[in-house]
Amino acid sequence: MEIKLNLEKIAFLSCTIAAFLLAIEIVCITVLGLQNPLVISLLVFAMTIAILICLGAVSLQVYLASLKEERK
């Protein structure tokens, strides 16, 4: 059974989600004057998870590419 992952789409989607979360955080803090540390912490945590998923997908893609080069 072969599992196919489109790592480029995963990386792009997770980085896009992180960018939207950053934009939401900036709007909440500057425009709305939100000072609730729980909400800000949750936004930062979600951004961190999205960025880590992006980095994981990219590093896995680089690793798999290096494995293909070694087989040649």
pLDDT per position as a tens digit, 14-61: 999 999 999 999 998 898 888 888 988 999 999 999 999 999 988 988
Q: How confident is the model at residue 1 (pLDDT cuts 50, 70, 90)?
A: very low
User: Over the range 39-53, which residues count as b (16 or more CB within 10 Å of their CB) and which as e?
Assistant: eeeebeebbeebbeb
Q: What is the pTM of this model?
A: 0.78
For residues 22 and 62, give the distance between their C-alpha atoms in angstroms, rounded to a whole number.
Answer: 27
CB-based contacts of 18, cutoff 8 Å, min separation 6: 47, 50, 51, 54
Whose tokens are 């930062």? That residue is: 44
Cα 3 to Cα 20, 52, 66: the distances in Å are 29, 21, 19
